[in-house]
């Protein structure tokens, strides 16, 4: 087997054989296939696609590159959730303890932000003392004692995917649907969860800009999970507007705690409950009411135990950025559009995200929103507040926000886009 013939097969729109796929994933993981060769193959896949059999075999080969976890020792059924990434997408934070409070075990392996999308681990690391890196034994212990764990994937879990993901990010091949689907599902299947709910984002702030691409990605991932014995459901959800009123690490932790306390923005609460109901149903738990678990404080109790079990102090003060800059509304009327991508890039430029995986992030940086589409605004009123420790970043961030919102005359009819656009099972 040689890598040139594998590249040529896909370059010429051919179907990769199971043997070719197994060999190239193994060889790349071992360093036999060079980065530039795998880059060429990834670009050929982006341009020419893969069929269902190829994607399934590619995913299986990435799973086989490392270990598989097992949660059979737990007394609860397991349910996990994955989001394809968005702006202000803090849903994992209240969702994991909420579902655990209703009787499921939630082994949530999460990632860091890159570019305009935020990362769950970066958000949680703004809590003093909290640890993302746990051994498999520590992860299982936290899961067993609290019902939920949010942590980084270990080095032994789908190492081929970890290596390929980093390469895709710097070669313009992130958007390849077969590679997105296999990347997500190889980790989730190897993780060992019994059921999985996918939150596939659609809109300007998502990787999938239109619903047709999002539906293709969701259908591919549902098929991969189902074929591997994992009950998998996908919700297509809107990401044209940021979720909630914050985009940034400590800012989103504060908002998530508000949701767990029974408050918080209505869109965050709505999506959290929708995903919780799907996760509980997939896990076979039919009689729990997640709305009640938010209202009676039981979800908050799980949150506090989960944070403490990973070394964090749930009562500690969260970091606050040293500098703020207020953006005001340019006209009076009805706010009809607030672009998620622009807000995400603005938060990233303020220091909430990173350009490279090794870059540090500012815990307090980000953007706080004071109005959402459908709200009435007055010229000169605060529309958003920018937060950063480095005020020289304000100009760069403000440039990304140019033209990011529209204000229509007072009395203009406004129809909000539903949060949940479709369901695929």
Q: Tokens for 319?
A: 């970091």
Give the active site residue among 80, 89, 122, 161: 161
- Would residue 209 show up in a list of annotated catalytic residues for this protein? no
Give the active site residue among 57, 82, 387, 393: 82
Give the active site residue among 57, 162, 187, 393: 187
| DSSP structure string for 350-374 | IIIS-SSTTS---TT-EEEES--TT
Task: Give Cα separations from 72 to 99, 152, 193, 253 (angstroms).
Answer: 19, 21, 10, 31
Task: Give Cα separations from 36 to 159, 179, 183, 381 (angstroms).
Answer: 18, 17, 19, 51
- Would residue 372 show up in a list of annotated catalytic residues for this protein? no
Quick one: DSSP state of residue 203? S
- Would residue 83 show up in a list of annotated catalytic residues for this protein? no
Give the active site residue among 81, 90, 123, 168: 168
- Residue 182: closest CA among 199, 200, 158: 158
- For residue 290, the Cα-to-chain-centroid distance in whole angstroms is 21
Quick one: DSSP state of residue 391? G
Q: Are 182 and 59 in contact (CB under 8 A)?
A: yes
Give the active site residue among 65, 182, 183, 240: 183
- Would residue 322 show up in a list of annotated catalytic residues for this protein? no
Do strands 366-369 and 106-110 pair parallel, antiparallel, or not at all (unpaired)? unpaired
- Would residue 112 show up in a list of annotated catalytic residues for this protein? no
Cα angle 266, 272, 276; round to 5: 145
- For residue 162, the Cα-to-chain-centroid distance in whole angstroms is 16
Residues annotated as catalytic are 82, 161, 168, 183, 187
């Amino acid at each position: 087997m040689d890598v040139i013939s594998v590249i040529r097969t896909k370059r010429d729109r051919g179907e990769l054989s199971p043997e070719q796929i197994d060999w190239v994933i193994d060889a790349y993981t071992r360093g036999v296939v060079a980065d530039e060769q795998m880059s060429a193959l990834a670009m050929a896949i982006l341009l020419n696609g893969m069929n269902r059999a190829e994607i399934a075999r590619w995913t299986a080969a990435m799973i086989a590159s490392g270990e598989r976890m097992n949660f059979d020792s737990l007394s609860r059924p397991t349910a996990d959730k994955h989001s394809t990434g968005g702006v202000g997408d803090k849903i994992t934070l209240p969702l994991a303890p909420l579902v655990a409070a209703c009787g499921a075990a939630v082994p949530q392996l999460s990632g860091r932000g890159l570019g305009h999308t935020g990362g769950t681990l970066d958000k949680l690391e703004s809590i003093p003392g909290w640890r993302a890196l746990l051994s498999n034994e520590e992860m299982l212990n936290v899961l067993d004692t609290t019902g939920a764990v949010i942590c980084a994937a270990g080095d032994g879990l789908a190492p081929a995917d970890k290596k390929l993901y980093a390469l895709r990010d710097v070669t313009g091949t992130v958007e390849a649907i077969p590679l997105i689907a296999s990347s997500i599902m190889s980790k989730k299947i190897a993780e060992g969860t019994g059921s999985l709910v996918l939150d596939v984002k659609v809109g300007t702030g998502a990787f999938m800009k239109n619903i047709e691409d999002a539906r293709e990605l969701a259908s591919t991932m549902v098929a991969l999970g189902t074929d591997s014995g994992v009950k998998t459901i996908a919700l297509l959800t809107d990401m044209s507007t940021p979720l909630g009123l914050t985009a940034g690490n400590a800012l989103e932790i504060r908002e998530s705690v508000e949701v767990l306390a029974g408050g918080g923005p209505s869109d965050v609460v709505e999506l959290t409950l929708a995903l919780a109901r799907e996760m509980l149903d997939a896990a076979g738990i039919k009689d729990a009411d997640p709305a009640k678990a938010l209202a009676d404080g039981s979800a908050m109790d799980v949150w506090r135990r989960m944070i403490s079990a990973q070394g964090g102090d749930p009562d500690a003060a969260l970091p606050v950025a040293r500098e703020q800059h207020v953006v005001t509304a340019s006209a009076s009327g009805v706010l009809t559009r607030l672009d998620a991508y622009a807000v995400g890039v603005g938060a990233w430029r303020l220091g909430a995200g990173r350009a490279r995986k090794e870059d540090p992030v500012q815990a307090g940086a980000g953007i706080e929103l004071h109005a959402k589409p459908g709200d009435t605004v007055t010229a000169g009123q605060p529309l958003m507040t920018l937060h950063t420790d480095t005020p020289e970043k304000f100009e760069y961030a403000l440039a990304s926000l140019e033209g990011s919102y529209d204000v229509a005359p007072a009395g203009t009819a406004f129809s909000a886009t539903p949060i949940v656009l479709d369901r695929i099972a």
